Structure 1
């Protein structure tokens, strides 16, 4: 028997007494949402400053040894971290679901990220400290990913079916913007001046090492609101579940996968499709700066400027396009964005010889759609997950992403090798790598098209 509109708050033709409920369901700037989005601002410290722009660049510098050795060491550490995440993320999510302690484990893993970030202060520019730096970055990646599983799993609890797209977009968007604010503070306060804030200089890598303390504090401060506001008691009620050992947890996990295969196969299809196109998105960021410098002649300073502008554009676009997710449905947003990215990437390839303006225009167009695809992917999955399985399924989401993380680098390199055999002798074929990234995005798009969402957009339901 269907419930009356007063009980669900979703009756499209009821007005009067249900009007306040409908307005409340459409609000996104609630206290839990603001606290939840603030966490994304905090996590940008590890993702943008430590992993991407600042610390890993420092760790692979000549101060720690030959470039091939330092890069190889970092690659090995991150590979081990990726394997640990792939093996344990679904189980840690499942165990948090069963215990009903999602906020608790978010806090524990975030605290460990903060400790790893602060520990980077002790990594002096000396080869003897290389593996300490690698170990801390790898451990930080593990705990950051485990925290992200719990964080993503909170999305259905702090939003409504009418707002989940905008809420997810808000989180992704302010995360981009928060990372740029922190990066700007570090550049202005520690990296560019000879004598930075608090009298810090570059002697003994002090400017980079102190910046890691700022990154740790940033993560800590912006993670506190969600831990105080989104309490475990406010998550959807579930009956107490029996604790399981590690082997029993894996057995339950395989049971969940088998159950999804029998009853909701499209969820598994989507996990595969999203894993592929998310790796393509990662490739855009990983190799974008390389293409900018090698093919279009950007100097290192201009690459940083482009990175800042690109993240600002991505942040604003992600927040703005979140509304389309709620109105049109996440799948339509993902398909449109992936098509637009493939076309923009193809344009960069075809017009690479027309100068830097091509990369500024088409590269920023690419960045407009990166964030919305990530955000819509999260909301699409959140709408598919059976209640009480959020942590477990978002753990699978993390695992599948790690399982295919070799695709973009492999096809980027393979496309360049093909290009070397096509271009005139002596010409640079680096720009051919763009086709490898486009191909990964295209494969993900093709895998996504047959996936049918279990829930249609509200706009479609009300029409």
Structure 2
């Protein structure tokens, strides 16, 4: 239910609705607004990289992981609702991108604490299916909220409470719905998850926290080099997966000509496909191991991404089938990555290790946005076209391919059998 409740930030805000809204012509020309989105995304990633391991470690030391998660979830709900103030005017471009960036940081830090609670609801032999089911529930929750805001506010000329598209009110009111959704539907998770009683470690300062994190990294490299190799490999491919989410809907509108309403309908269909596929691949995770799931998913995404670039002139007729096919493999790679690491976490170290997981991902989180923006500029230089947004696809493909290559050398920690 936490996945279900917080999914509006990922599905509605980051991917299919607000990200499309904020790069609309009302805020500026397509290339400049898209580049601004990429820059703000990269800056948010930098802050996550700096904060995640320290905050995760402090949650472990205090024994208040769930308490921290609860507060972070409430803040995320508030930031989602705050996007209501972003009117479709150039002056509000960086206001919207600023709130979006802060929300991304809070979402990632909350995710660190959330991931570290997985051992409360799964065993080592069932963690693959539990991780996949949770991720799948997030996708399915995304469908419901997308359809709710589409039919209640965006699709009708006059929606509920007299809401229209004038002054972007349909999108802005949808942000209020997202905040309320997160606030309400995460309640069941906090009725089940609890802080575990443990002796509280002494509080340490920021500098000492970073020293302890560095000591943990050195120790981890000594006792489990394969874990370090996985953290580095996953940093690459998870950044590529994040790029698919961050820029997929932007490409749908700017390159393939889908309307804002069409993007939402596509998002609903994509979430159905992704949710069911992620749950199914979770079962394969426990049978075959997460490494195989990750490699198959990344290989497929690289091939499909190249296909979308080559066939981009086909418009919506190309984007719909290939875009939906791509969603089959994004969720399984993410869920399998989480289950891979969850099997390695020592007791009482979940926050710190998942903090390192978030940090290694965010240390290179500038790569996808930077590659996306770089290839747009390269496309403009090569073709001379005014709109070369579709070249950004190659930037995302490049990062995914690098992650695939790095993952080939990672050793799994054990044989996998069905419980």
TM-score, normalization: structure 2? 0.89
Alignment of 1:454 with 2:417, yes or no, is no
Flag the 1:329–1:149 CA change in 2: closer, same or farther, 3 A. Answer: same
CA RMSD of aligned residues (A): 3.0
Alignment of 1:180 with 2:139, yes or no, is no
Distance 2:262 2:58 in 1: 46
Unpaired runs of at least 5, structure 2? none
Measured after TM superposition, the shift of residue 394 of structure 1 is 1.0
Flag the 1:116–1:415 CA change in 2: closer, same or farther, 3 A. Answer: closer
> For structure 1, which segment, 430-439 or 143-152, has the greater mean C-alpha deviation from structure 2 after superposition?
430-439
Measured after TM superposition, the shift of residue 232 of structure 1 is 0.9
Q: Structure 1, residues 337-368: CA drift from partner, whole Å, max 9, x if none?
A: 22222333344455556775444333322211
- The equivalent of 1:405 in structure 2 is 365
- The equivalent of 1:81 in structure 2 is 44
Q: How does 1:240-389 map to 2 (within 5 A)?
A: 240-289=200-249, 291-292=251-252, 298=258, 300-349=260-309, 357-389=317-349
SS in 1 for 2:200: coil
Q: Structure 1, residues 320-349: CA drift from partner, whole Å, max 9, x if none?
A: 111011111111111122222233334445
Alignment of 1:440 with 2:365, yes or no, is no
Distance 2:366 2:355 in 1: 19
> For structure 1, which segment, 89-98 or 44-53, has the greater mean C-alpha deviation from structure 2 after superposition?
44-53
Distance 2:212 2:100 in 1: 31
- The equivalent of 1:90 in structure 2 is 53
Q: Which has the larger radius of gyration?
A: 1
- The equivalent of 1:6 in structure 2 is none
| Contact preservation (8 Å) 1:384, 1:455 | no
- The equivalent of 1:209 in structure 2 is 172
Measured after TM superposition, the shift of residue 443 of structure 1 is 1.3
Flag the 1:325–1:358 CA change in 2: closer, same or farther, 3 A. Answer: same
Distance 2:97 2:413 in 1: 42
Flag the 1:332–1:254 CA change in 2: closer, same or farther, 3 A. Answer: same
Q: Structure 1, residues 69-99: CA drift from partner, whole Å, max 9, x if none?
A: 7666655544443222110111000000111
TM-score, normalization: structure 1? 0.81
| Contact preservation (8 Å) 2:17, 2:260 | no
| Contact preservation (8 Å) 1:383, 1:455 | no
Measured after TM superposition, the shift of residue 45 of structure 1 is 1.4
Measured after TM superposition, the shift of residue 155 of structure 1 is 1.2
Q: Structure 1, residues 370-393: CA drift from partner, whole Å, max 9, x if none?
A: 100000000001112222111111
Q: Structure 1, residues 304-324: CA drift from partner, whole Å, max 9, x if none?
A: 433332222111100111101
- The equivalent of 1:195 in structure 2 is 158
Measured after TM superposition, the shift of residue 143 of structure 1 is 1.5
